[in-house]
Chain A
Amino acid sequence: MFLFLALLDNPEEQEKFTEVYNQYRHFMWYVANQKLQDEHLAEDAVQEAFFALTRHLDQVEDVHSQRTRKFLATIVRSKAVDILRKRKPTEELKEYLAEEKRDEDILEQYLTKENYHYLISCILELEDHYRVVFEYKYLYQMGDAQIGDILGISAKNVNVRYFRARKKLQEMIQKEGSRFERA
């Protein structure tokens, strides 16, 4: 643990970390508990999130900003999802089986202003382990290695998960679009 702590190598960073802890720990717990519906597991997720934060404190520029709040929400949610996935390994298997049938990545074609409302409902429905990868990548401009470090997986696996997420979103928009057309 102290190896990680040594990364916060100056008093300013240490102060920032303490401030984040004091200001957001209950918020983070709430976000985790929404996912896990278990107070103790939610605390574990918060611990894991703070642990990860010691290595990525550079993402926090202003402790009181909305961006920081969102970033912490993403971290703690991804940790909560990790805990959930560890408890349900069968889902992982299903995911690998689904991976067998490969389609073309044409998500770009669906990302249009006309599909804005579909997109919102699809993102809200998208599984969290995919959505957090999008958030890390697009909202916080983090690289695969950095994301992998937080999620505890390799950069290559982050890439795999990212492409699965794209494919899943593509399928969801297609489905949503055809439902809308039928209606």
Chain B
Amino acid sequence: MKEHETRSKGEELLTRVLEECLEEDLSFVPPEGEIARTHRFSREFEQWMQEILEGMSAACRKKEIRRHFSPRLGQWAACILIFCVCGWLFVQVGGQIGGFDTKETAEEAPASETAEEEAVAAEDAPAEDMGTGSADTVTQEDPDNFESGPDEGQAVKEYCGQEVSLASQQKVQEQSDSVTTRLNCPVLDEDNPVLMLTIGNTGEENIRYYNRYDLEVWLEDAWYRIPPKSEEAGEWLILEAGMAVDEEVDLSLYQIDHDARQYRLVTRTEQGRVGIEFTFEEVFKETMETDAELKRSACLSEAPEGFQNAKAL
């Protein structure tokens, strides 16, 4: 500040000139959104920055813990915990020696097992969310998500010579409050296995999405996840507010037979899952023909008698 105050008139003038020149230089730079449309950062760059951002939060968390956690308090807490555990053990052992009712303990056992199971399920859920969970893990986080409630025995099905597992979320919207997904074509040609998925951020805040998508197939009464031929780890990418990104999805990386009535691509975002359905040309044609047939027969049955007779003739 002092330096600023003691500046000569000449230096003040130079500062003004530098400011003006910089402004002029920057006036040619297009808006951020426009540059983002023409340039996409390389994977290495995104990865490096992701590491920096994640490293920062880890470093901050460590510092916060250190700031709020005094070692002496920790020692006290440990002592109290040991004391409590010893007390509990003493009561338990004393109770058994004193001839407590064994039925009580037997009743407690299943309860603790259930608690353990719940804990395991709770641990599985976020792991699945981050894309590291195995495909076979079926986590029914929200039973309301199931349209017709498939039986537990149907959690895994045989499809196209492979096992497909029940999708963890049955009801998936095409768009959430801030994310929407579109496909370049909802009816696909079997010969062209590549489709273009567009993810749009319609909100006002940046969002993160996972760039590996779940391909799911509708089999009889529920959606099932088709595992890719080789599982590749994806990464969480940032999608800026008001921006859209096109992602190429190659269906030849999955074992599919094109015969199922409906497929869908599910994208994971911070705001939840969004999915878009599609079908294949042949199936679509058949469906349309069946629908037309049904409509025609319905029309005939409702038509006046004379018209039906004429049609019969």
Contact = CB atoms under 8 A, between A and B. Distances in A.
Given A1-B52, A74-B22, A135-B18, A25 B29 contact: no
Contacts of A112: 10, 13
B39 A29 contact: yes
Given A29-B39, A43-B42, A6 B59 contact: yes
Contacts of A84: none
B110 interface: no
Contacts of A153: none
B48 interface: yes
Contacts of B52: 1, 5, 50, 54
A148 to B, nearest CB: 16
B35 A70 contact: no
B122 interface: no
B253 interface: no
A69 B15 contact: no
B14 A111 contact: yes
A163 interface: no
Contacts of B32: 23-24, 26-27
A138 B13 contact: no
Given A8-B59, A139-B15, A29 B35 contact: yes
A107 interface: yes
B24 interface: yes
Interface stretch (A92-100, A118-126, A175-183): A118-126
A70 B4 contact: no
B55 A1 contact: yes
B60 interface: yes
A111 B21 contact: no
Contacts of B196: none
Interface in B94-149: none
Contact of A138 (B18, B41, B48): B18
A10 interface: yes
B291 interface: no
Contact of B11 (A18, A40, A74, A138): A138
B4 to A, nearest CB: 6
A9 interface: yes
Nearest to B205: A22
Nearest to B26: A73
A70 B27 CA distance: 11
A47 B50 CA distance: 12
B281 interface: no
A3 B56 CA distance: 10
A61 to B, nearest CB: 14
Interface string B221-256: 000000000000000001010000000000000000
B14 A124 contact: no
A134 B59 contact: no
B240 to A, nearest CB: 7
B245 to A, nearest CB: 14
Given A8-B60, A120-B17, 11 more contacts: A1-B55, A10-B63, A11-B64, A26-B39, A31-B29, A43-B44, A47-B45, A108-B8, A116-B17, A135-B18, A138-B11
19 contacts: A1-B52, A11-B64, A21-B49, A23-B32, A26-B32, A26-B39, A27-B29, A27-B35, A33-B39, A43-B41, A43-B44, A70-B26, A108-B8, A111-B9, A124-B21, A124-B25, A131-B21, A134-B18, A141-B3
- 4 shortest A-B CB distances, which residue pairs? A111-B10, A26-B35, A138-B15, A123-B21
